[in-house]
Chain A
C-alpha cells in the first residue's frame, strides 16, 4: 500500500514536472535546449513511479501514535511559522518562540522552556553575529 501510494505521488509529480518541462525550449542552434534534460528526468520520474505502482509492495509505513503524529505536525507548523515570522520579528524573538513551543511539546515546564529557549537563541546569535560576523534578520517590526 505504502509503495503504491508513493508511486502514485511520484507519478503525479512526474506528470506535472513533465508538463512544465515540455514548455521549455527543447533544441537550440547550439544543441539541446533548456528543456532537453528536464523532459528526460520527467520521463524517468513517471516510469519509476509507474513501476512502484505496479510492482510488489516493498515499503511499509512505520506505525506512529496519534500523539506522536500530532507533535510532529505541531513542530512542522512551528517551523513554517518561524519562516513566516522571521522577517517581521527578527531572529531572536522568532527563535525564542520556536524553541519554547518545541520544548513545551516535549513536556518541559514553562520556566525551563523559556530559560533554555532564551539561552539557545542568545548563544547562537552571539556565535553567528558578533563572533563570525554573519548577519541574521533583525525584523521589520524592530528596525
Chain B
C-alpha cells in the first residue's frame, strides 16, 4: 500500500512540466550518447552535471538517470545497423542484430531491441520498488563492520567480474583507493598527499577523473584515428514491424533477460556488459537451434538488449538503498545527488521522497518516451553519426573542460582531468577497463572510515566481523563466488570426456 502511495506521489512529481522536460532531455541525450561510439553514459552524465546546477534535485537526477538508461537504447541502434556497438553493453546485440540487418531485416531487429528494452526497463523499475525499500530497511541495522565488509567485498566482486584479468583489476582498485586518500583525513584532520596545494585538501573529485578517463580519453582516441565515415542504412517506419514468429520467439528471451539483467545489476561489476553476455549464452544454450546464433537469431537480440536495460535498474538499488555505487554510472548519479544536497542511503526514501519516487516514476515515463522516440526516429539518431568527428572531438573536449571547471571553479580539477585523460588513453591502448578505479575512488572514503570505526569498536580485534551475521553472509557469498569460478575454470580445462565422467 505504501509503495502504491509512494508511486502515486512520484507520478505527481514526475508529471510536473519541468520534470517532464528534464526526463525528455535526459532520454533524448541518452539515446544520442548511446548512438555515438565511445562516448558512453559515464562521460555523458559527467559532461551534463554542470547543466543541472540550476535545477531542483529531482529534475537533475531525473535527467541524469534518463541519460543512463537512455544510452542503453541508443547503443543497440548502431550495433544493429553498422556493427558498431555504441556501448560495450551492446556488443552482443551486434552479433545477431547486424546479421539480421545484412539479411534485410534491420527493422524487426531494431523494433525487438526497443520493445525488449522497454519491457525490461519497466520490469526493472518494478524490481527497484520491490527490493529497494526492503534493502533500505535492512540497511538501517548496518554498522561500520557491515559497511566495511560490503564495500570491500564489492570491490573484490568487481575484480572477479571485471572484463580485466583479476590482478589487473586489482591494480586499478589500488590506484582508485590511493587517489581516494588524497586530502584531509576526515577523522583526524591530517593533510595527506597534498604536497602544499591547498586545493588538494578537499580531495580529488570524482567528476574530473571520470571526464578524463572517459571523455578526454575518447577525444585522444578520435585524434589518433582521424576522420572515419559511417555508412548508414536507411530504415523506413513500416519496415520496423516484426513478423508474428519473430515476436513469439522474442517473448521468453525478453522475460529471461529482464530477470537476469536485474539480478546481475544488484551485484558489483560491469552489470550491463556481463548481463548481456550471459543472456546471450543462456538463450543460445536454451535454443533448439543454437546454430542460428551468430547468423541473425532474433533471440540473440531480444535477450541481451533486455538484460542490459534491466541491469541499469538493478544497479540503482544499492545506490538508492545503501548509498553505495558499484558502477561508474551509478557513481555519477551518487555524486550528482550529493552535489544537490541529497544523501542516498537507508533514510533516502524517507528524507527525500520527492527525489526517490519522482525518479522511479520518471523512469516509467522515460521508458515510454524512449520507445516512442527510438522507433519512428531511428534514422534521426543514426544520422548523428554523420556529425564530422573533428567537430565532435572539439565539442567533447570543450564541454569536458568547462564542465570540470564549473563543478568547483577549480583550475586544479582541469589539470587532474587532463592527467586522468592521458591515463585513460593509455589504459584504452592496453584494453584495460578503468571502472574498478572509478568505483574504488568512490568507495575508498567509505571503506577507510568504516574500517577505522570497526577497528575502534573492536579494539583492534578482527574477530568482531565474524560475530556479525550480515558480514559472515557477505564473506560466504564472496567465497562461494570464487569457489564457483574456480570450479567452472577447472571443468573448462578438463577434456570433454573427463568432465562427463
Contacts and interface: CB of A to CB of B under 8 A. Distances in A.
Interface of A: 2-3, 6-7, 10, 13-14, 17, 20-21, 24-25, 28, 30-38, 41-42, 44-45, 48-49, 51-52, 55, 58-62, 64-65, 68-69, 71-72, 75-76, 79-80, 82-83, 86-87, 91, 95, 98-99, 102-103, 105-108, 116-117, 120-121, 124, 127-128, 132-137
Contact of B188 (A13, A33, A58, A59): A33
Interface string B431-443: 1100000000000
Q: Is chain A's binding surface mostly helix, strand, loop or mixed?
A: helix
Given A37-B181, A59-B431, A132 B421 contact: no
Nearest to A51: B167
Interface of B: 50-51, 53-54, 165, 167-168, 170-171, 173-175, 177-178, 181, 185, 187-188, 190, 192-193, 216, 219-220, 223-227, 389-391, 393-395, 397-399, 401-402, 405-406, 409, 411, 414-415, 418, 421-422, 425, 428-432, 447-448, 451-453, 455-456
Given A41-B181, A45-B171, 20 more contacts: A3-B168, A30-B456, A31-B455, A32-B456, A34-B185, A37-B447, A38-B178, A41-B174, A58-B168, A62-B428, A75-B220, A95-B402, A99-B394, A102-B223, A103-B394, A105-B223, A106-B389, A124-B398, A134-B406, A136-B402
A32 B452 contact: yes
B397 A59 contact: no
Nearest to B445: A37
A35 B175 CA distance: 16
A132 B51 contact: yes
Considering residues A37, A80, A95, which has the most beta carbons from chain B within 10 angstroms of its beta carbon? Answer: A37
Contact of B395 (A2, A120, A132): A120
B220 to A, nearest CB: 5
Nearest to A36: B452
Contacts of A25: 188, 190
A117 B133 CA distance: 49
